[in-house]
Amino acid sequence: MAGVVAAGHPLTAEAGVEVLREGGNAVDAAVCAVLASFAVESPLTGFGAGGFMMVHGTGPSSDRGSDRASQPDPREGAGAEEEEIGAVLIDFFVAAPGKDGVERGAELVPVPVHFDAETVQTFYVGPASCGVPGTAAGLELALARFGSVPLADLVGTGARLAREGAPVNAEQAYILDILLPIHERLEGTRELYAPGGRPLGEGDVFRFEDLAEALERFGAEGAAPFYSGEVATALSSFMAEHGGTLGPSDLAGYEAIERRPIRVPFRGTEVLTNPPPSSGGILIAYCLGLLERLGERSGPEQLVAAMGAANAARGETFAEALYGEGLEASLLDSAALDLAAGDLLGSTTHISVLDGDGMCASVTCSNGSGSGVLVPGTGVILNNMLGEEDLNPLGFHAIAPGRRVPSMMAPTVVLRDGEIELGLGSAGSNRIRSAILQTIVRTVEQGMGAADAVQAPRLHFEQGVVQAEPGIDEEALARIEARGVRVARRPAINLFFGGVQAVARDPGTGELSGGGDPRRGGAVAF
């Protein structure tokens, strides 16, 4: 079958493409690549993380299903939509804990992370920051619904990389360096990432034996141990002892959910992306709808205007509406977009796979910045999603137990005449939406290839400041400044601006291509 894989590490991409070479499909390859990323991109992802997978090219809804698959509510049920557009979004993101009524015995710990000399973002970590992880449940469901290779056959590469180790490359060394203040706080991650007291650097070999055992357990027993078995007991007991609120009922009640993707037209294509209660997808769709109305060219000024409108739309009402009905219809309504356009004119990792039969799997997983909590003997480093300011707009610990934490992650596909043209997604906290938006604009509107579109300079507008990488049109930036908007010109590309991994198919020739983001050590394998 063969195909193309774009991922955040060369070994992640190679793990996925090897599955394609052996006859597996895009979902098989994506699952294998995700599991390999646990070993070579461990600060960003793992069994303590959550995520989303967009699958296109599924055909009619399959009768196969995981025992852990949820019964969709009226806003979710993907079956009918899947038959119509051949796409489904699998939501396995982090949920808020607290179903057991455990009182929080610890507070969030603020840790500043320095992306460079000028850019600092505060993350809140520790046991109080840990939400219910979803990767095991989500990968199991994706494979049961759309895969063709047994799970036991897909864990081997990741387990080998975790046990034997792999050299830390330059990009992972940078990530380890900026996250060192988190990793060195607590026993477990301190020894894992600084064996013998010396932090790992480029060229050092990183090994994670407990993760290897966890991967092999997952291959043999599936997700059950992580939600109702030995691993679940270890996680909830450790949390109870250290002041977290993640309890047995939170884990036992967790389910991966199939959802209908958001659909929005853009420059003759149809973009399918992540629906509520995730926030990133609908904000991307909103920006694309505005750009359609701002003219035929989406330059820096139009992009900043659209991003500004999305920032303004993302208020308290928006945060509450993510859990209700009608947000998509109201925000993407043509009249509302026309009105907004008129006013305007005055750590995470991603893997994209496209196989030879046209099936695309676009999957984003994230541990946030990581909580620093490594539960002994499990191979699980828990997420810090309850301590990510971007994901908690109503305040920390305000999300009801069992509800999904809103996310900016937005695995996305672009269709032309119903055929896949582009599959992509990004890492990057609040910059995910701007990174995906600009990559779509450059491929669909400006005709760039996937690699050039991913590598092109980016900007991001938030909190009244336009952050701009070198290479953005200086005349346009000067006009933006003339309107009273501050522009911060960055000295070099940086993982602050996201990590887009994209795969593409030429609609005329059928040729496959891909783009791996140099900001995060991205790689493409065929």
User: Which residues are designated catalytic?
Assistant: 348
Please tell me the distance from the alpha carbon of residue 5 to that of residue 127, in angstroms, as a whole number.
35
Helix (H, G, I), strand (E, B) or coil at 392: coil
Q: What token pair was written down for 236?
A: 């909830």
End-to-end CA distance of the chain: 11
Neighbours of 164 (CB within 10 A): 11
Q: Helices 280-293 and 300-313 sit at what angle, rounded to 10 degrees? A: 130
Grouping H, G, I as helix, E, B as strand and the rest as coil, residue 404 is strand
Pairing of strands 360-366, 348-355: antiparallel
Q: Cα(411)–Cα(424) distance, rounded to whole angstroms?
A: 6
Question: Which residues are paired to 515 by β-bridges?
Answer: 502
Cα–Cα distance measured from residue 328 to residue 334, given in angstroms and rounded to the nearest whole number: 11
Q: Which residues contact 389 (CB under 8 A, 6 or more apart)?
A: 122, 124
Residue in the block written with tokens 């300079």: 457
The three-class DSSP label of residue 517 is coil
Q: What is the distance between the alpha carbons of residues 149 and 151, in angstroms, rounded to a whole number?
A: 6
Closest-CA residue to 347 (of 387, 383, 396): 383
The tokens of 112 are what?
Answer: 């500043």
Nearest to 500 by CA among 462, 467, 454: 454
145/30 Cα distance (integer angstroms): 13
How far, in Å, CA of 247 to CA of 253, rounded? 10
Residue 155 backbone phi and psi in degrees, to 5? -90, -10
CB 499, CB 428: distance < 8 Å: yes
Task: Say whether 238 sits in a helix, a strand or coil.
Answer: helix
With CA atoms as reference, report the closest residue to 366 among 313, 405, 420, 317.
405
Hey, how many other C-beta atoms are within 10 angstroms of the C-beta on 488? 12
